[in-house]
Amino acid sequence: MSLFTVNNVIINHKVIPNKIVMEKSINITLKIWRQAGPKFKGAFETYKLDNISTDSSFLEMIDELNEQLITERKEPIAFDHDCREGICGMCSLYINGQPHGPDGEITTCQLHMRNFKDGQTITVEPWRSAAFPVIKDLMVDRGAFDKIIQAGGFVSVNTGGIPDGNSIAIGKDIADEAMDAASCIGCGACVATCKNGSAMLFVSAKVSQLALLPQGKVEAAQRAKAMVAKMDELGFGNCTNTGACESECPKNVSISHIARLNREYLVAKFKG
Amino acid sequence: MTNKQDSTKVETTKIDARIPEGALAEKWSNYKAHQKLVNPSNKRRLDVIVVGTGLAGASAAASMAEMGFNVLNFCIQDSPRRAHSIAAQGGINAAKNYQNDGDSVYRLFYDTIKGGDYRAREANVYRLAEVSNGIIDQCVAQGVPFAREYGGLLDNRSFGGAQVSRTFYAKGQTGQQLLLGAYSALSRQIGKGAVKLYSRYEMLDVVIIDGRARGIIARNLISGKIERFFAHAVVVGSGGYGNTFFLSTNAMNSNGSALVQMYKKGAYFANPAYAQIHPTCIPVHGDKQSKLTLMSESLRNDGRIWVPKKKEDAEAIRAGKKKATDLAEGERDYYLERRYPAFGNLVPRDVASRAAKERCDAGFGVGNTGLAVYLDFSDAINRLGENVVRERYGNLFQMYEKIVDDNPYNMPMMIYPAMHYTMGGIWVDYELQTSVKGLFCIGEANFSDHGANRLGASALMQGLADGYFVLPYTIQNYLADQIQVPRLSTELPEFEEAEKAVNDKIKKLMSIQGKHSVDSIHRELGLIMWDFVGMGRNKAGLETALEKIKAVRKEFWSNVYIPGTEGDLNNELEKALRVADFIEIGELMARDALMREESCGGHFREEFQTPEGEALRNDEDFSFASCWKFAGEGKEPELLKETLDYEFIHRQQRNYKS
């Protein structure tokens, strides 16, 4: 246990005496992948970090490490992050062999240090996939996901001239299932964890969401065909139904969507 | 009028918002009927830059590309889908009246004007309410999986500041679903080649040629290369400046730099002091915290907010000797229900935030810092069952539990207000054009529709209204006169000079090699903002803030340390460029708050309140939008005023009690 002061408690512009809060903290060792750029060879570097509050998020811990590196006039670790609420899908990180780390149903930004023990060594790597080349340190290029969506992950409607939102009734169960598929955040954990580097969970989530809804049904088969073709072209691997993607997905997207994708894909094949 | 600040130059220049003539309900139809249009073959010859891919930027870029314009779209993230609109939780308002509860375009307009404490422009807000219904239809057609009733029709819920249920939602992820809808429309246009996307690019200046915006200077965030881009018009939808406070619910990379760039090139910065402190956020846990997490306002549909009635109980809870659940019903003070019987827990955000601060300042706060109140679902769980509550708010409860390590199904949530949204922004006229020709501003980045306080579920509405249905029309009225303008060379001296200025600024920052990290200076700025320019403001505090911000600026420009080089991926340099601008914005916010000697919406001056502690407006002297005009580095900005005339609504003291 360490003493920790909250020094920003100022009310009505009168500073009230610092409050002392008892908070748990731990000391850790980090092995972090450093790589100067896509064409450079990377390697692990080891860092020691003391007095990390267990209420800190994993990324706040890396912020602290970076502050320490900056103080030592060293280059901080490059990593992707933005919303820090688990929804933008920008953060990634392979932590102790698991995408988004040991806790379930969360992204790295929502992983908290209370999931680690005092004295523990934590290994941090970028997503490893042929389709996601490393940009620097822990940052990777996930532009391939955008290209898959551009190939067909939409309903072909222009702005304006749309009938009333209630003109098509959609069963609650269908809407809910579409919502579950649509909750994919495009983080890429499914690809990173798959031994084949397949993007099937990502692709199927979009195909399934739109195939379930009447608005998206019109183009369902064509969409599946176009998106799968783009996925293959971009160097993602094949799906061999290991289910690893589903178990590591921070948003619990189900592999049942892959079955629906396969159905739509077959329909497209039959139609030629 | 009188103005007591000798530090502020006051001009009487009137600003013309170019509002169409005619009755309120006919203005927009009349405008569209008479505006200039661009024919299809000319559209192909016109380039439009859109900066930002949030709800406003993505919907604008997609819609203009569908029309046939050639669009260049920029975002700082690796993908347009990650813009911070994605994090909006609760919902989007529209005047559909599907619930048959008396809603109408006029009522949504009225609620928005009242919610904004009568500091927004009537014509803009009416148009917003008018186009709101089309947004829902558009999103449904894109495949946005809005929540449905068992009969298959769209479901609604209630949000603060309204007595009707007009909020459409997709679980607690409405922003995500709406943004993915706009992103899919945008992706379709990128696939067709109608939009050229530049991701991981950051705008660093706007280029003005002969008084018109003709392009931008942007930095490739991967290579560090500075690049030039031409367009016939520039549209900025880069979001708000809430991160001036360091700790806010904004994403880490959200910033106000594009606004400062526009401001320094002649666009007015309007109402910078109007910032929204959101009442329901997870309290600060410590001094290493990087950001604050919002708990959706939708939780106030079923959650009841309270603190202990007795100070001894609050003290016992803070000391860890008692738990919330130890207090009987009679020992709890449901202060919002007590103070505002008509709206109860669903008062607007500014009112709810101030009420929480009032209780905590008076010593009734809970949590180990005393800076928290309870948001309690036990009544809802008893009434509806845990499953229904889980269905409605499951993802929010899960998020809370992961962050706080406490189960909100069994123990009330602890919440406290946090910086969330900025109503102020770049001044725009009715056409969403800034005071610089050819430079447009949309979404949270502009100042237009929310007055001094934004109602919940109205940010998504405004972003999409601007992007789908307003800008794609109004920009044509400008572009129709640009069809003779060829694509200009980026070798022109104006591009040259703008790029040189950007390079000089970067070189200067890199050369300081001081002692402090960028974040440490940003944190310092944030504390000043929270303490003196936050929920309760007063003259002495604001003057202190202005002094302290000066010191922060000096420290930053003489003692910041940026590692690495400029010609490479360099996150610290990116942050430094943004913090340099947050310092400018912080100063503008404090200056504006000091000038506005009244309380309205999110701007609460402690000197101006009713005996009951409510905001006391001064319509006589302050019924205007303050427009700050840049006067040169190191010089005091000039204050211009857009007078707000209320033709259709009778202003009154906001009342949420009866």
Predicted local distance difference test score (pLDDT) of residue B9 = 45
Say if residue B284 is in the same domain as residue B408.
yes
Has residue B650 been placed in a domain?
no
> Which of A87, A183, A210 should be substituted to probe chain B, the one whose Cβ sees the most B Cβ atoms within 10 Å?
A87
Predicted local distance difference test score (pLDDT) of residue B652 = 86
CA distances to A116, A167, A217, B249, B404 from A55, in Å? 11, 48, 46, 18, 8
* B150 shares contact with chain A (CB less than 8 Å): yes
Domain boundaries, chain A: 2-134, 142-157+170-271
Return the active site residues of B. Answer: 349
How high does pLDDT run on average in chain B? 95
Is A166 close to B371, i.e. CB distance below 8 A? no
What's the structural domain count of chain B?
2
Find how far residue A205's CA is from the centre of its chain.
Answer: 14
By CB atoms closer than 10 A (0-12, 13-18, 19+), residue B268 is: buried
**Domain end (from B383, B402, B419):** B419
Beta strands in A66-172 (DSSP E): 94-95, 98-99, 121-125, 134-136, 139-140
Nearest chain A residue to B64, by CA: A159
**pLDDT at residue A269 greater than cutoff 60:** yes
**pLDDT at residue B497 greater than cutoff 90:** yes
Please compute Rg for chain B using Cα positions: 24
Which residue has better confidence, B173 or B3? B173
Other Cβ atoms closer than 10 A to B498: 25
Q: How far apart are the C-alpha atoms of B573 and B568, rounded to whole Å?
A: 10
> Which of A4, A116, A154, A217 should be substituted to probe chain B, the one whose Cβ sees the most B Cβ atoms within 10 Å?
A154
Would you list the DSSP string of A212-227?
HSHHHHTTHHHHHHHH
Q: How far apart are the C-alpha atoms of B392 and B147, rounded to whole Å?
A: 10
Say if residue B414 is in the same domain as residue B498.
no
Helix axes of A200-212 and A256-271: crossing angle, nearest 10 degrees: 70
Nearest chain B residue to A83, by CA: B251
Q: How far apart are the C-alpha atoms of A164 and B168, rounded to whole Å?
A: 14
Which residue has better confidence, A18 or B138? B138
**pLDDT at residue B138 greater than cutoff 60:** yes
**pLDDT at residue A18 greater than cutoff 70:** no
Nearest chain B residue to A171, by CA: B152
Facing residues of A141 across strands? none
pLDDT grade, residue B653 (50/70/90)? Answer: confident
> Under a CB-based contact definition with an 8 Å cutoff, are residues B235 and B114 in contact?
no
> Given its phi and psi angles, is residue A84 left (phi above 0), alpha (psi -120 to 50 degrees) or beta?
left
By CB atoms closer than 10 A (0-12, 13-18, 19+), residue A246 is: middle
pLDDT grade, residue B2 (50/70/90)? Answer: very low
**Encoding tokens for residue B525?**
């700025």
List all residues of chain B from 153 to 182 with a beta carbon under 8 Å from chain A.
153-154, 170-171, 173, 175-177, 180
Is A13 close to B569, i.e. CB distance below 8 A? no
In the numeric block, the tokens 């303008």 are attached to B485
* B569 shares contact with chain A (CB less than 8 Å): yes
Q: How far apart are the C-alpha atoms of A213 and A225, rounded to whole Å?
A: 18
Say if residue B288 is in the same domain as residue B387.
yes
In the numeric block, the tokens 């060293």 are attached to A74
A164 CB-near residues (< 8 Å, 6+ apart): B137
Say if residue B388 is in the same domain as residue B524.
no
* A70 shares contact with chain B (CB less than 8 Å): yes
What does the pLDDT look like over A39-51, one tens digit per residue? 999 999 999 999 9
Say if residue B503 is in the same domain as residue B394.
no
What does the pLDDT look like over B63-118, one tens digit per residue? 999 999 999 999 999 999 999 999 998 899 999 999 999 999 999 999 999 999 99
* B394 shares contact with chain A (CB less than 8 Å): no
Residue type, B413: M
Q: How far apart are the C-alpha atoms of A185 and A250, rounded to whole Å?
A: 9
* A7 shares contact with chain B (CB less than 8 Å): yes
Predicted local distance difference test score (pLDDT) of residue B5 = 44
A251-257 CB contacts, 8 Å cutoff, 24+ apart: A251/A105, A251/A183, A251/A184, A251/A185, A252/A105, A252/A180, A252/A183, A253/A180, A253/A181, A253/A183, A253/A184, A253/A190, A253/A201, A253/A205, A254/A180, A255/A201, A255/A204, A257/A181, A257/A201, A257/A204, A257/A205, A257/A207, A257/A208
Is B82 close to A209, i.e. CB distance below 8 A? no
Predicted local distance difference test score (pLDDT) of residue B473 = 98
**pLDDT at residue B10 greater than cutoff 80:** no
Pairing assessment for the beta strands B92-93 and B167-168 based on DSSP bridges: antiparallel
Is A80 close to B371, i.e. CB distance below 8 A? no
Has residue B255 been placed in a domain?
no
Which among A4, A106, A143 has the least Cβ separation from residue B286?
A4
What does the pLDDT look like over B464-488, one tens digit per residue? 999 999 999 999 999 999 999 999 9
Predicted local distance difference test score (pLDDT) of residue B3 = 43
**pLDDT at residue A10 greater than cutoff 80:** no
The C-alpha of A195 sits at a distance from chain B's nearest C-alpha, in angstroms, of 24
CATH number for the domain harbouring residue B635:
1.20.58.100
Q: How far apart are the C-alpha atoms of A68 and B101, rounded to whole Å?
A: 57
> Which of A35, A82, A219, A249 should be substituted to probe chain B, the one whose Cβ sees the most B Cβ atoms within 10 Å?
A82
CA distances to B225, B455, B472 from B499, in Å? 11, 40, 29
Q: Which CATH number applies to A142-157+170-271?
A: 1.10.1060.10
* A209 shares contact with chain B (CB less than 8 Å): yes
Say if residue B507 is in the same domain as residue B637.
yes
Q: How far apart are the C-alpha atoms of B28 and B31, rounded to whole Å?
A: 5
> Under a CB-based contact definition with an 8 Å cutoff, are residues B615 and B116 in contact?
no
pLDDT grade, residue B391 (50/70/90)? Answer: confident
Nearest to A259 by CA among A247, A235, A248, A243: A243
**pLDDT at residue B49 greater than cutoff 50:** yes
Facing residues of B441 across strands? B236
Say if residue B400 is in the same domain as residue B499.
no
* B266 shares contact with chain A (CB less than 8 Å): no
Please give the average per-residue pLDDT across A207-232, as a whole number. 97
Has residue B574 been placed in a domain?
yes
**pLDDT at residue A3 greater than cutoff 70:** no
CA distances to A140, B92, B445 from B175, in Å? 25, 8, 17
Has residue B484 been placed in a domain?
no
* B96 shares contact with chain A (CB less than 8 Å): yes
**Encoding tokens for residue B635?**
């010089």
**pLDDT at residue A2 greater than cutoff 90:** no
Has residue B519 been placed in a domain?
yes
Query: C-alpha angle with apex A161: A159 to A167, nearest 5 degrees?
Result: 110
**pLDDT at residue B279 greater than cutoff 50:** yes
> Which of B32, B63, B93, B142 should be substituted to probe chain A, the one whose Cβ sees the most A Cβ atoms within 10 Å?
B142
Q: Kindly report the backbone phi and psi dihedral angles of residue B386, in degrees, each rounded to the nearest multiple of 5, phi listed first.
A: -65, -35
Say if residue B283 is in the same domain as residue B399.
yes
Has residue B154 been placed in a domain?
no
Is B153 close to A7, i.e. CB distance below 8 A? no
Is B148 close to A170, i.e. CB distance below 8 A? yes
* CB pairs A-B closer than 8 Å: 250
Say if residue B409 is in the same domain as residue B298.
yes
**pLDDT at residue B506 greater than cutoff 90:** yes
* A208 shares contact with chain B (CB less than 8 Å): no
List all residues of chain B from 282 to 301 with a beta carbon under 8 Å from chain A.
284-291, 293-294
* B63 shares contact with chain A (CB less than 8 Å): yes
**Domain end (from B357, B385, B419):** B419
Is A175 close to B517, i.e. CB distance below 8 A? no
> Which of B32, B97, B144 should be substituted to probe chain A, the one whose Cβ sees the most A Cβ atoms within 10 Å?
B144
The C-alpha of A73 sits at a distance from chain B's nearest C-alpha, in angstroms, of 7
* A20 shares contact with chain B (CB less than 8 Å): no
Class of domain A2-134: alpha beta
Is B173 close to A159, i.e. CB distance below 8 A? no
What does the pLDDT look like over B159-181, one tens digit per residue? 888 999 999 999 889 999 999 99
The C-alpha of B582 sits at a distance from chain A's nearest C-alpha, in angstroms, of 18
Has residue B162 been placed in a domain?
no
Nearest chain A residue to B221, by CA: A135
A55 CB-near residues (< 8 Å, 6+ apart): A23, A24, A112, A113, A114, B285, B286, B405
Three-state SS at B178: helix
* B406 shares contact with chain A (CB less than 8 Å): no
Residues of B in contact with A53 (CB under 8 A): 285-286, 288
Beta strands in B474-610 (DSSP E): none
> Under a CB-based contact definition with an 8 Å cutoff, are residues B149 and A167 in contact?
no
pLDDT grade, residue A30 (50/70/90)? Answer: very high
Has residue B412 been placed in a domain?
yes
**Domain end (from B419, B448, B473):** B419
Nearest to B219 by CA among B564, B499, B589, B531: B499
List all residues of chain B from 300 to 359 with a beta carbon under 8 Å from chain A.
none
Three-state SS at A84: coil
List all residues of chain B from 507 to 546 with a beta carbon under 8 Å from chain A.
517, 519-520, 527, 530-532, 536, 538, 540-541, 544
In the numeric block, the tokens 């020094």 are attached to A7
Range of the domain at B378: 279-419
**pLDDT at residue A21 greater than cutoff 50:** no
